[in-house]
Amino acid sequence: MDLDPELALLRPLGGFFALRTPLGSPGEHDRRPPTLAQAYAPAATGAPGCAGAKPHDDPLAFRVRKVTRALRAPEERIGASVAQQGLAARLWSVALGCAALYGCVPDLAPGLLRWDPDADAPDDLWLTRVRARPGDAAGVAGSVAATVLEDHLEPLSAALRARCPVAPGLLRGNAASALAATARLLVRWADGHSRPDVAARTRDLTAALLAHPLLADTCTLSDGVFRRRSCCLYYRVPGGGVCGDCCFTRPPRSSPRAPSG
């Protein structure tokens, strides 16, 4: 099925999957948000990490600081982890949703996606041009992997680690966890709307993606139950606990730098 100009098939799935497209006519937005390509760019020389960042000066550092403050987290690496997982989930939702519903993936190049780092969750994304991603030899699963993992999450991880001391294994665990959560939502929708074809495609695509070299060592699957091998650090947020797929069964004892993968 061809992609329509508004990716309308994503809308019934809810705001977690929906994507603004296109950005709108000139003058519709007083301040157009930066692209994700700008967010992944190296921080300016001498930039003070995440503290004091402004949305357009360093969108990624600004987002980390905003999330850290909202969570009242004791360390910015916790805000970096939560911010990355939220953006990963939104990228997976668009790519996996389109793959399951349309049978193809839109071109989500970082330069085509605008992102408001000051918005509330879920992350607000605008796709400025809707077109199908050029076909990959590995098929739809390969196209999803290239779009989300290679074009976005790896450069996002590098950009975050340049700004905050967050472990790469933690970030890849977040990516796998966000994928598994997105797949569960999509399968639940498909089951509730008598779309066994969508549910089957989602399960097949998710299994193939979790076997990707960048994700294969991040989790275990037993009887369809996903469990990650790292921790996203949410338990260190005041009032937080361990997530349902965490490597820990209960919050570890507080320590200055608990293992995070």
| Of the candidate ranges 15-24, 75-84, 150-159, the one whose mean pLDDT is the lowest | 15-24
C-alpha separations of 7 from 14, 20, 29, 171, 261 in Å? 13, 9, 21, 29, 36
The reported pTM is 0.89
pLDDT higher than threshold 50 for residue 258: no
238 domain-assigned: no
pLDDT tens for 102-131 read 999 999 999 999 999 999 889 999 999 999
Beta strands in the chain (DSSP E): 113-115, 125-127, 219-222, 225-228
Q: Which range has the worst mean pLDDT, 93-107, 149-163, 198-212, 217-231?
A: 217-231
Residue 222 lies in a domain: no
- According to the model, what pLDDT value does residue 259 have? 46
pLDDT, one tens digit per residue, over 181-192 is: 999 999 999 999
Residue 56's pLDDT band, with cuts at 50, 70 and 90, is: low
Secondary structure element (H or E) that encloses residue 98, with its range: helix 76-101
Phi, psi of 4 (to 5 degrees): -90, 160
Instruction: Give the separation between CA 92 and CA 178, rounded to whole angstroms.
Output: 7
pLDDT at residue 95 is higher than 60: yes
Residue at 246 is within a domain: no
Asked if residue 170 belongs to a domain, the reply is yes
Residue 204 placed within a domain:
yes
Residue 259 inside a domain? The answer is no
State how many domains the chain has: 1
Q: Which domain holds residue 156?
A: 8-216
Whether residue 81 contacts residue 67, with contact meaning beta carbons closer than 8 Å, is answered with no
**In angstroms, rounded to a whole number, what is the distance separating the alpha carbons of residues 4 and 42?**
34
SS3 24: coil
Q: What is the pLDDT of residue 45?
A: 47
73: how many CB neighbours lie within 10 A of its CB? 22
Q: Average of pLDDT values for 57-72?
A: 94
Asked whether residue 244 is domain-assigned, the answer is no
Q: Is the pLDDT of residue 46 over 80?
A: no
**Separation between Cα atoms, residue 175 and residue 169, nearest integer Å:** 10
Q: Is the dihedral of CA 214, 128, 140, 124 positive or negative?
A: positive
